[in-house]
């Protein structure tokens, strides 16, 4: 398997966690987002959206991190990343989408660059924008989480936790204060030292 990724990309980090949890060996092809390599025609042949990640399996290209994670879960042995029951699956997808569909796209590089370069939003307001969407999503997730929970759903790590861990890394990177969410911090602190999660950490893929 070949993963087109960028070490700091949260969506790429999600897929790396899934690959490590599944015990799947993979190679990475770094796409430097800071240098704009995602917008090159060469990369768009891999991911027509001009984004990372993209996973190549036996010559077939898969994009969209959540779709890739579910694909890996359904086709590879290793730790299950989704509950077995349909109700549980729907709940894990809902939790995952709060981060991946409703939060992450608003704070993505191309959106921040558009705010800054096209709409002349200054650094202070850009940071306010960033934090606003983090807090909105985190407040919701905190409310949806049971006290003392070790996972966002059920009794093993799922795609929803993968989304949370990557988002927490991003929050740490941008120095955003999230102590107001003890249940989310509890889950993150419980999972971040798991060997497979550590192995997927951005610092291990820095190029
Ligand atoms: N929904 C997509 C999001 C992919 C995405 O937005 N990737 C970001 C990095 S985390 C990216 O490639 N950004 C490049 C840019 O904004 O130009 C997924 O989950 O795969």
Q: Which domains does the chain have, with CATH numbers?
A: 2-79 (3.40.30.10), 86-196 (1.20.1050.10)
CA 53 – ligand 1 centroid, Å: 7
Report the alpha-carbon distance of residue 159 to residue 65 in Å, rounded.
10
Pocket test for ligand 1, best of 51, 105, 117 (most atoms within 8 A of CB): 51
Q: Are 88 and 153 in contact (CB under 8 A)?
A: yes
Give me the tens of pLDDT residue by residue for the chain, a chain 207 residues long.
Answer: 999 999 999 999 999 999 999 999 999 999 999 999 999 999 999 999 999 999 999 999 999 999 999 999 999 998 999 999 999 999 999 999 999 999 999 999 999 999 999 999 999 999 999 999 999 999 999 999 999 999 999 999 999 999 999 999 999 999 999 999 999 999 999 999 999 999 999 999 997
Rounded (10°) angle between helices 123-144 and 182-191: 90
Q: Is 33 in the pocket of ligand 1 (CB under 6 A)?
A: yes
Q: Is 110 in the pocket of ligand 1 (CB under 6 A)?
A: yes
Counting from 1 in the atom list of ligand 1, the atom nearest the Cα of 52 is 12
Q: Are 92 and 70 in contact (CB under 8 A)?
A: no
Counting from 1 in the atom list of ligand 1, the atom nearest the Cα of 113 is 16
Q: Are 17 and 44 in contact (CB under 8 A)?
A: no
Strands (E), 6-131: 27-30, 54-57, 60-63
């Amino acid at each position: 398997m070949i993963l087109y990724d960028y070490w700091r990309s949260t969506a790429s980090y999600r897929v790396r966690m899934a690959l490590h949890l599944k015990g799947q060996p993979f190679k990475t092809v770094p796409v430097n987002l800071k240098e704009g390599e995602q917008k090159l025609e060469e990369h768009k042949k891999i991911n027509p959206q001009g984004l990372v990640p993209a996973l190549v399996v036996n010559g077939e290209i898969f994009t969209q991190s959540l779709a890739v994670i579910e694909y890996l879960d359904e086709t590879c042995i290793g730790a299950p990343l989704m509950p077995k029951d349909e109700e549980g699956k729907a709940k894990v997808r809902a939790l995952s989408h709060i981060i991946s569909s409703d939060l992450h796209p608003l704070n993505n590089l191309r959106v921040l660059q558009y705010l800054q370069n096209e709409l002349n939003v200054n650094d202070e307001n850009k940071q306010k924008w960033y934090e606003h969407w983090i807090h909105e999503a985190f407040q919701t997730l905190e409310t949806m989480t049971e006290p003392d929970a070790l996972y966002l759903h059920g009794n093993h790590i799922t795609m929803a936790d993968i989304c949370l861990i990557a988002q927490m890394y991003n929050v740490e990177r941008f120095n955003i204060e999230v102590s107001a969410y003890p249940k989310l911090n509890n889950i993150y602190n419980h999972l971040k030292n798991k060997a497979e999660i550590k192995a997927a950490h951005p610092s291990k893929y820095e190029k």
